Structure 1
Amino acid sequence: MKIKAILLFALIIFSCSKNVNYTPEIIKETSGRYVYSQEEVIDVYYDNNKLYLKWKGADKIETVAFDEHTFFVAEMYKKLRFVKHPQTKEAYLGIVSENDDNKVDYAYLKVADTFKTPRMYLKDKEYDKALAGYLAIKQQDSTSVFLEEASFNRLGYNLLNEKAFNDAISVFKINVVLYPNSDNVYDSLADAYLRKGDSTQAYTNYKKALELNTGNRRAKRFVESYKTKL
């Protein structure tokens, strides 16, 4: 029943769509980047007088226009509207209520085209900015799904497997700052330094891992072996 309802709603939406002629002013005012979440953005752009979105890895998501400001996105299953907040005057992509077309939730704030999420900084290898962004997320919500220790660890090892040692070290360092009481993050950082050939830094971080967890066998073996060579 739910699938039938969705299909029926989509049919109604598409039947109500219009060929909208977007003015240059509207295009200039609404094009750009909107914050979808702490780690995702929506990019709005126009091509041949049609409005498209870039979102979740898709470069050209089609929209169904109702007027210059309102449109439907099947991938989101949402009706959206370009609006300005009455108090702050900031621009948003608002979510239009399913029950009241005049009711809009100011959902996605418009930001500068140069705005990046921490993940985007990470992808561009701007590690200091990525860390600052993740620390800001942690301050807001320390349990955020965007701060999973295992995810950073996995990314670091993917880079290690590609022999991108410095990049892997930078990612593991982010994990160290986010999870300073985890022996595993120091263990991984030590492993990266060891593969790079820096045994001194490997020892420093294995030693820290061992201090946090005396049962860390790999750290214990390395620390004991390193001391015998001094």
Structure 2
Amino acid sequence: MKTKLLFSICCALFLLNCTSKKNTDEFISNASGRYFFNADEVIEVVFKDKELYLNWRNSDLKPLKVNDSIFYVRELNEKLIFNTKKHKIVLAEKREHKGEKFTFLKLKKGEKTPSEYLEDNNYELALNGYKEIQERDSLNPIIKERNLNRTGYRYLNNDEIEKAINVFKINTELYPTSSNTFDSLGDAYLKSNDTIKAIDSYKKALSINPENRSSMRNLKKLTDEK
């Protein structure tokens, strides 16, 4: 008799635990979507069999449901608090945050990050996105000149020339007094066989820094060929 009772209790607890992982249709509808993890990165909330999962940095994370609005993410060692009415996720406060509050806002339908707009070759929206980041936080590493330059050359080395040109153009917009940004843009135009724009970019680089050896060398080569 005791064995049967214990078995029944265990089964009930097991079923209760399984049920507690499920989420309501209303919560699923309101919480599903993409959220800004940072200014140029998203974390996506999806549901499988009414259980919440996170797609983040090419990984599928399965948080532990604490209650109907709080989920613990072991990989981040953070508790996510969902506020579906205000379309955001807030990290639960803890000592390691040192008083700083972290909020992930939900992206609007069709909205993308600046780097995603770059991938789509949407120069204007990418530029606007990076400018907004610069206005909010000029020291944000996402819009650092060298980081964008590195991204541009990665595209260039992969023969994704249009994307490279867009990145370098954005860099010249964000850092118009940098000789290096125009030199890099010249390199991209040179690889695209747009000699006129390449020459113009190298001249701009030299107008900012007459000692830019790369621009001097490439400009001389292009003008000698003409």
Scaled by the length of structure 1, the TM-score of the pair is: 0.79
> Does the CA-based 8 Å contact 2:156-2:164 persist in structure 1?
yes
Partner of 2:45: 44
Of 109, 112, 115, the match for 1:116: 112
Q: Which amino acid aligns with 2:65?
A: A
How far did 1:169 drift? 1.3
Structure 1 range deviating more: 105-114 or 123-132? 105-114
Q: Percent identity?
A: 37
1:1-230 paired onto structure 2 within 5 Å: 18-19=17-18, 20=20, 21-58=22-59, 60-83=60-83, 90-98=86-94, 107-227=103-223
- Provide the alpha-carbon RMSD of the alignment: 2.3
SS of 2:103 mapped into structure 1: strand
> Does the CA-based 8 Å contact 2:155-2:163 persist in structure 1?
yes
Which of these two proteins has the greater Rg computed from alpha carbons? 2
**In structure 2, distance between residues paired with 1:225 and 1:124:** 33
How far did 1:83 drift? 2.1
How far did 1:120 drift? 1.9
How far did 1:228 drift? 5.1
Size of the aligned set, in residue pairs, is 204
How far did 1:221 drift? 3.1
Residues 198 and 38 of structure 1, relative CA distance in 2, 3 Å threshold: same
SS of 1:111 mapped into structure 2: coil
> Does the CA-based 8 Å contact 2:118-2:163 persist in structure 1?
no
> Does the CA-based 8 Å contact 1:34-1:43 persist in structure 2?
yes
SS of 2:38 mapped into structure 1: coil
> Does the CA-based 8 Å contact 2:131-2:174 persist in structure 1?
yes
Q: Which amino acid aligns with 1:67?
A: N
**In structure 2, distance between residues paired with 1:95 and 1:165:** 40
Provide runs of 4+ in structure 1 moved above 6 Å. Answer: none
How far did 1:224 drift? 4.0
> Does the CA-based 8 Å contact 1:72-1:80 persist in structure 2?
yes
- Structure 2 stretches lacking a partner, 5+ long: 1-15, 96-100
